[in-house]
Amino acid sequence: METRTLARISGIAGLAFVVGGTAIEAIFPAPVEPGGTVASILAAGGQPGAVATVALLAATTGLGTAVLVFFAASLARYLDPDNGLLAQFAVLGAFGGFVLSLVRRGLLIAFAQAAGSSDQSGAAALYVAATDSLVRVYAYPVALFMGALGLLMVARGTMPVWLGWTALAIGALEVASAFAGGVDPSLDIGYPAYLLMLVWIGVVSLILLVRSARSSTVIEPERAGSLAS
């Protein structure tokens, strides 16, 4: 696949992920915070509407992480056409995040269903697993995804080097947040790190789309000239 096409595909996939992620944050604000969408299900007592809300959240976020895998694969191929080790790590990190996201959403749906039972111990255990344990584990494949892409950008020079260093910083922030949050939950800054990742993906996607558009304006006249001759 030619470079221009890869840039266009990566840019579209990245913007789709950013727009979708922003929309989810707007529709389902702070889902794991006190008073948020998921936390309020305990008060809703497992009502069908609450379960449907979490099921919808699970479906939309699952689709979003699938788009992230597609973005990672196309961007890694754009940065490294030879599909080297770093490119494979980037895709592996995104795919690991996708799998963990599906598991987490499944736990949230199970939590919503268990919230209406008389014994709340099972619901509480599911809640902790989905909103604490898996959230911290999720930071590691995300850090692998960001770190591998950052190293590729720094090493290859295909994209602005500052984007590579920024990706490495966000990846390190994800790992630090997971460690610190395990010691003291008040030190968990995973959510701001996620927002920074959204901004980074948005910037990268816009650069890729601009590049693909510019290459189109240069290539098409050349093709027309060759056909005319």
CA pseudo-torsion sign 55, 56, 57, 62: positive
State pTM to two decimals. Answer: 0.77
pLDDT given at position 186: 61
Is pLDDT of 118 > 70?
Answer: no
Place of tokens 């529709």: 27
Structure confidence by residue, pLDDT tens digits, 148-164: 999 999 999 889 999 99
Position 6, amino acid: L
Place of tokens 């610190």: 180
Q: Rounded CA gap, 127 and 134, in Å? A: 10
Structure confidence by residue, pLDDT tens digits, 58-77: 666 667 788 888 999 999 99
Listed residue (152, 65, 169, 198) closest to 177, CA to CA: 169
| Residue 152 contacts residue 90 (beta carbons within 8 Å) | yes
Residue 30 region by backbone torsions, left for phi larger than 0, else alpha for psi between -120 and 50, else beta: left
